[in-house]
Amino acid sequence: MPDDKDNLDDFEPDQKKRIAKLKQKVDEIAGRETAKFESEDVNPDLSEEFWQQIVEYETAPMTTEFQLLEDAGVILPPPEEMDDETLSKKLWALIGRLAKMRTFVESTNHLSDRELYERLWRDTLREERPNIQPGIWI
């Protein structure tokens, strides 16, 4: 996870001030003052990491699962270019690859393999989301 401490010119030695700066950055990103409910009992290290993650999430470049799969060398042919047997094999390979990326498909038993692949290929995998590394969040 990137750390404000990496840039020594911007390093603030006072943790309370660093947290306040992160909260201010969240307000700047939102374009307004945001609600910040936090117990006095919260560990300051945990609080700082939480606010840092909010800033990282909100400022991350956007991507899609489809783009991430393509970047990893996964070939996803259009559904109309595959017969049912080929499409079914491709779908299950895709589901396995998505699981490795910590993206899971659920509640799809009502769809045929073709319907599911088409929905993933045309819509679901093309939804934009912040490009963040999985597994770094609290």
Q: Find all residues with CB under 8 Å of 54, minimum gap 6, and list them.
A: 22, 26
pTM of the model: 0.68
Q: What rounded mean pLDDT belongs to the chain?
A: 87
Q: Dump pLDDT digits (tens) for 87-132.
A: 999 999 999 999 998 889 999 999 999 999 999 999 999 999 999 8
Terminal-to-terminal C-alpha distance of the chain: 12
pLDDT at 9: 54
Task: Give the 3-state secondary structure of residue 6.
Answer: helix
**Confidence class for position 18, pLDDT limits 50, 70, 90:** very high
Q: Dump pLDDT digits (tens) for 122-136.
A: 999 999 999 986 554
pLDDT at 66: 96
Cβ-based burial of 64 (10 A; exposed 0-12, middle 13-18, buried ≥19): middle
